[in-house]
Structure formats: structure tokens, C-alpha cells
Amino acid sequence: MKSIIFKNKYILIFFLAAFSLLSGCEKKESDNRAFISISSDPSGAAISIDGRECGITPLKSKIVPGTYILKISKINYEPSWTKIICAPKSSKTAEVILKPISASVMIRSNPPGAELQINGETIGETPLTIHDQPIGKYSGILKKPGYISTEVTWEISNHRPQIKTTVLNSNMGSLVITSTPPNAKIFIDDAPKGSTPFNGTVEQGTHKIRLVKEGYAVAEETMNITKNEKKAKAFALQLLPGSITVKSEPSGAIIIINGEQHGKTPATIKDLKPGSYQLRLERGGCDPIEKQLTVSAGKNIEESFTLDSNTGGIDVVVNPPGVTIYIDGKKAGISEPDENNSISKVFSRRNLSADSHKVEFWHKRAVPERKSITVKVQKGKVTRAPNVNMWIANAVLTLRNGRVMTGVLASENKDEVFFEPEPGVRQGYKRNEIISLIPLKFEE
């Protein structure tokens, strides 16, 4: 019985001693105890003091004064150790930021040079290393022209680095393109690929093929390419027509190409087959002009010409004004009075052929009514014809003796009037002999 009591006594002493060591976490026995506050980011981390678990963060408690090793740990985070010294009745705060456990992974592909995309964002090209990845599962897409896009997955569970190698499978097919004529520039999906004939590989899928050659219409076709298969396509290119743009100074010249009229200058004659053409321009009053032209496929020729005049002109003065003038039987105009209304202005006519022309002058009150002259016109020159004078009645004279005369008022002064009732006959009349002297208009 005594041995049992003795043993129980020692057991009690042992538990009291152990309880005394942990009293910093739980027991409140001494006023000398220090106050301690422990927190972590993230919270919920396990707290160990000198190897003994005391709870989880955040924790506020009292502890026996002394020096302690504080450990904060949490799943998927690296543990943190901190030394704290607690003086009697002191206050200590421990704030710990836990670092997530991470590892590096190297992504490789065969062949290398594949683009790695994670969540739609391009990370880089293989081989590449991604550092400091937290614990978790990851995936990405490897993309490389000519190969099938392939998913790659990996998982980080500890600090150990990883290597992930993925074999990419080709998605290329063969394509052969020829053209007639050859040496046409070829574009696949708008990217230049050289000239025909073309023999190369193209990714599986639908592609737009376009052929371009100067002088020929652009050829386009959509082709579907299957991996590991060969497709061929021959294009017959269509020759483009050419055109000629013709201008002239002066404009309005008739355009004649190979004997056929094509309007007047300026003009563009389209849809001409490539080859040689005889161009001729004709315009009244100008020398015709001819030129041999070569039209190229798909191109426009611009030609400008200055036409030389093959005409001349006539200048003539006819008195008095108001005379109708005819040239070669056609009415050309009426002579006009000058600023003083006494004589005529110079009458001018241009664009007359280089030849002899009959010029006639007519007035109904003239005696004789009509006169004519012949004028020789030279190319590019203006011929000044001799002045022409006509006897044309310009007034009506009424005398006191009852005589009324229509004729030409030759001159007058304050006392006397000199009047010609007919050509070559001039008479003088005193003012007191005259009842009226009425002028006639120059016009007919």
C-alpha cells in the first residue's frame, strides 16, 4: 500500500513539473508572466514553442519569462522559426508572413521552339523554365507552325524541380502550284511564298491561294489541305487588256486608231489587246498627226500632242461701218464703228485654210451694193487686206424747194452743208436752203 502511495506521489510530482513548463501557453499562475501575441499571414498556422504545440494563429496568451524558439507552420507553406525572449511582465508580438512552397518547372518540346500559352497568354518558347510556381495543378498549350497544338500538364507538390517534355505531331500537307505563264508571284494567306512553280508544305486547313503577275489578271482560289497528303493546282492566267490616253492642244481632235474613230481628245481608249497600233489625230484647221504605239498588257499609255495650225487669217477695214462681210459666200460678220463712230474697226477672221478666199462687202444703200476682193491666206499668218471704201447713203436732205435727197453727208460747217446725192457728185447748200438733215443708221 505504501509503495503504491509512493509511486503515485512521484507521478503527481512529474505532472506538476510538466504543467509548470507549459504554463506559458495555458496556465495563469504568476504575476511575473509575460504577455505574448502571435499572428501569421495567412492565419490558421500551427504554433509550436520549444517543440510543443500550443494552438493556431492568431493566438494571445501569457507565458513564463524565458527564451523560447517559436515555430509557425502551415500546409503548403514553408515553416518559420523565430527566437523570442520574454522578460517578466513584458509584452511580445510575433507577426510572421509565411512563404508558399514553390518549385520550378522546365517545359520542353520535340521539336523545340513551340509557343507555350497559359490561359490564353503567351509565356515564351520551348525550352523555357517557369520559376516559383506554388503548389497546384497547371496546364498549357504548345503551339508551333506545322504541328498540332498539344496540351501539356504538370503538378507542383513540393520543392523539387520538374522537367516536362512533349512530342509534337506534324500537321503539314504538300502543295504544288504551277501557272501558265510561269514566274507568277504566289501568296498563301496573303504571305509571299516565292514564284510559280511552287512545291512546298502547308499547314492542314483552309488556305487562300493568290497568284499575281504583271499584265495578267489576279488568280485566286481557296484550297483545303490535309496533313500528310499532296495537292496540286495549275492556274491559267488571263492576259489583261491595255489602254491609251490621248490629249491634244488644242483639244477636240478626232482620235483614229487603226482606221477606226474613238471619240475626240481628251479621251482614254480601253480594252485594247496588247500589240501595235497606228494612232492618228485630225482637227479642222490643224495638220493631222500620226504615231505608231505599242500597247502592253495591263498598262495605260499616255500620249500628248501639240497640233500645228494649217490656217491663217484676214484683217480688213471697210468704211463706213455697218457693212456685211462674206467670205467664200458665207456671212462672216458686220463691220463695227470705232469709238468715234466715224470709221470702222478692223474686221478679223481666223482659222481660214491656206488658200485664196473671196471676200465680199454688201450694204443695201451702197452704190454699188456689193464689192469683192480676193485675199491669199498663208499657213500660220494673218494677211492684211487693202482697205475697202463704199459709197453708202448716210443721210436724208430736205430742201425748202421741196426736193428730198438720200445720199452721203460729206462735210458741213455752220453756214453750209456739202452733200453727195450720188457717187462723184458733191453739192453745197446754204443752211437757209435746208429744211432738215436726218442721219441714217449704219446698220442695214
Task: Write down the pLDDT at residue 20.
Answer: 44
8 in any annotated domain: no
Element (DSSP H or E) covering residue 9: helix 2-21
> What are phi and psi for residue 177, nearest 5 degrees?
-130, 130
Q: State which H helix or E strand residue 332 sits in.
A: strand 330-334
Same domain as 317, residue 259: no
Instruction: Return the pLDDT at 443.
Output: 64
Kindly state whether residue 366 falls inside one of the protein's structural domains.
yes
Average pLDDT over residues 86-106: 92
Has residue 310 got a pLDDT over 70? Answer: yes
What pairs with residue 312 in β-bridges?
Answer: 352
Amino acid 23: pLDDT: 45
CATH number assigned to the domain comprising residue 127: 2.60.40.10
DSSP state of 100: B
CB under 8 Å to 269, separation ≥6 — which residues? Answer: 243, 244, 245, 246, 255, 257, 262, 263
Instruction: Name 226's Cβ contacts closer than 8 Å, sequence gap at least 6.
Output: 173, 204
**C-alpha R_g of the chain:** 60
Q: Are residues 254 and 322 in the same domain?
A: no
Q: Are residues 90 and 107 in the same domain?
A: no
Q: For 179, which DSSP code?
A: E
Cβ count within 10 A of residue 23: 16
Q: In terms of domains, do 246 and 232 share one?
A: no
Q: Tell me whether residue 246 is in a domain.
A: yes
Q: How many domains does the chain have?
A: 6
Contact call for residues 283 and 351 (beta carbons, < 8 A): no
Decide if pLDDT at 26 tops 90.
Answer: no
Residue-wise pLDDT for 194-217, tens only, equals 999 999 999 889 999 999 999 999
Check which CATH number belongs to the domain holding 223 and give it. 2.60.40.1120
For residues 222 and 255, membership in a common domain is answered with no
402/361 same-domain check: no
Given a contact cutoff of 8 angstroms between Cβ atoms, the answer to whether 90 and 111 are in contact is no
CA 397 to chain centroid: 83
DSSP string, 122-167: EEEESSEEEEEEESEEEEEEEE-TTB--EEEEEEE-SS--EEEEEE
Q: Percent of the chain having pLDDT more than 90?
A: 75
Summarize the confidence of residues 186-201 as an average pLDDT.
94
CA distance linking residue 254 with residue 14, whole number of Å: 131
With respect to residue 13, please indicate whether it lies within any of the assigned structural domains. Answer: no
Between the CA of residue 290 and those of 107, 264, 285, 306, 312, what are the distances in Å? 77, 15, 16, 12, 23
Q: State the cell numbers at 19.
A: 504543467
Examine the fold and report which residue of 97, 132, 158 is the final residue of a domain before the chain moves on. Answer: 97
The predicted-structure confidence for 368-426, as pLDDT tens digits, reads as follows: 999 999 999 998 899 999 999 999 999 999 999 999 999 999 999 999 999 999 999 99
Query: Is residue 329, in this structure, part of any structural domain at all?
Result: yes
The predicted pLDDT at position 31 comes to: 75
- Residue 298 and residue 261 in one domain: yes
Q: Is 10 part of a structural domain of the chain?
A: no
Three-state DSSP class for residue 219: strand
Parent domain of 34 = 23-97
pTM of the entire structure? 0.46
CA 3/CA 8 separation, integer angstroms: 9
C-alpha to C-alpha distance for 56 and 45, rounded to whole angstroms: 5
Average pLDDT of every residue of the chain: 89
Give the lowest-confidence range in 24-33, 54-63, 165-174, 347-356. 24-33
Q: Of the ranges 4-8, 151-155, 196-200, 235-239, which one carries the lowest mean pLDDT score?
A: 4-8
pLDDT for residue 18 is more than 90: no
Examine residue 18 and state whether it is found in any structural domain, yes or no: no
Average pLDDT over residues 43-71: 92
The 3-state DSSP class for residue 257 equals strand
Residue that finishes a domain, picked among 69, 97, 125: 97
SS3 273: coil
Do 231 and 248 fall into the same domain?
no
Grid cell for residue 297: 498588257
User: What are the backbone angles phi and psi of residue 14, rounded to the nearest 5°?
Assistant: -60, -45
Q: What is the DSSP string of 340-400?
A: TSSSBPPEEEEEEESSEEEEEEE-TTBSSSEEEEEEE--TT-EEEPPPEE--B--EEEEET
190 and 252 inside one domain: no
CA 270 to chain centre: 26
